[in-house]
Structure 1
Amino acid sequence: MFRRREAVPFAFVAEADRFRSNVTPPPRQRISRSELLSRALIGLVVTAGLAGSLLFGLPSLESGQPSGQVQQPEVAQGR
Structure 2
Amino acid sequence: MFRRREPVPFAFIAEADKFRSNIKPPARERPSAGQLAGRTLVGLTVVAGLVGSLLFGMPALSADQTTKHVQQSEATNGH
Q: With structure 1 as the length reference, what TM-score do the two structures score?
A: 0.58
Deviation, 1:27, is 1.2
Deviation, 1:36, is 0.3
Hey, what does 2:37 align to over in structure 1? Answer: 37
Deviation, 1:33, is 0.2
Q: With structure 2 as the length reference, what TM-score do the two structures score?
A: 0.58
Instruction: Give CA deviations for 1:21-52 in whole Å, capped at 9, x if unaligned.
Output: 12221111011000000000000000000000
- Structure 1 gap segments, 5+ residues each: 1-7, 67-79
Q: 1:63 to 1:24 in 2, by over 3 A?
A: same
- Structure 2 gap segments, 5+ residues each: 1-8, 67-79
Hey, what does 1:47 align to over in structure 2? Answer: 47
Q: 1:14, 1:62 → 2: CA distance?
A: 64
RMSD value over aligned CA atoms? 3.0
Hey, what does 1:63 align to over in structure 2? Answer: 63
Q: 2:15, 2:55 → 1: CA distance?
A: 54
Structure showing the higher helix proportion among its residues: 2
Identity level (%): 47
Q: 1:9 to 1:45 in 2, by over 3 A?
A: same
Q: Which runs of 4+ in 1 moved over 4 A?
A: 12-15
